[in-house]
Amino acid sequence: VTVPSDATGNVTITIKDKGGNVIKEETVNISDGTAKLTVPDLNAGNYTVKVSLNDKTNYQWADETTADVEYAFVINKATYDMSNVVFEDKKVTYNGSVYSIEATNLPAGVTVTYENNGKTNAGVYTVVAKFSGNANYNAIPDMEATLTVNKVTVAKPTADNTVFTYNGQPQTYALAESEYYTVNNATAVNAGSYMVNVSLKDKLNYQWADGTNADIFFSFVINKATYDMGNIVLKPSTELDEVVV
């Protein structure tokens, strides 16, 4: 509070919050035309300062009045400096782990929670970071980043070009083995046509190199065998009108 430079004595300074509650009240001596009252750690908000002459009989204001005077003042909320916070997009490939995006370099006093974070399956996810801080600071805007979990790309097996002929034993249509797919109906005994089915084990998280995930089919043919008739001997019979082998 500033008063005439030659003023002397003391005044009572009362500080109240918006609700009229007294935050601090103290008698302050006037020195060099100024009466100062320091209130440490005063929160952001609206306040009033009331200044009262302690001796209204012998003192008066410069306008010759003695009534208490009030002043309004505002302590504005501060704003956190979020310029160094890192919250960036992330791309990974599925492997069964849980993937997340984390905000780093937070200012002191700021905490963060997340929405739609911590994903395992392949997909594209929008992760929202929500920040909280001291009540004396302005609300911090949310931040968004994209978490992309790519599918595992699997090479398609190539066809078995073996020519199969019936031999009375199980025969197998040979395809490259993989932890990512299963092979079904690849073994047969009898002559005929079969369809070998190759299926991805996890169609949500695996895909073929061409971006598809549908089952693949291969034609598996076991040809009929041909009897070896090269050693057959035809002998005439005098008793029967027939050929004896």
DSSP SS3 for 66: coil
Query: Average pLDDT, stretch 123-145?
Result: 97
Query: Average pLDDT, stretch 27-37?
Result: 77
Query: For 189-225, what is each residue's pLDDT tens digit?
Result: 999 999 999 999 999 999 999 999 999 999 999 999 9
Angle of CA points 106, 111, 116, to nearest 5°: 100
Nearest to 28 by CA among 47, 45, 49, 58: 49
Q: Pick the residue with more confidence: 165 or 22?
A: 165
| Cα distance between residue 165 and residue 185, in whole Å | 17
Give the per-residue pLDDT at 114.
98
Encoded amino acid at 171, one letter: Q
Strand locations in the chain (E): 10-17, 22-29, 45-53, 69-75, 90-93, 111-115, 123-132, 143-150, 152-154, 164-165, 171-172, 181-184, 187-188, 192-200, 206-208, 216-223
State how far Cα 192 lies from the chain centre.
53
| Cα distance between residue 24 and residue 43, in whole Å | 13
Query: For 66-89, what is each residue's pLDDT tens digit?
Result: 888 888 889 899 999 999 999 999
Contacts of 167 (CB under 8 A, 6+ apart): 225
Q: What is the pTM of this model?
A: 0.74
Query: Average pLDDT, stretch 122-146?
Result: 97
Query: For 229-241, what is each residue's pLDDT tens digit?
Result: 888 887 776 555 5
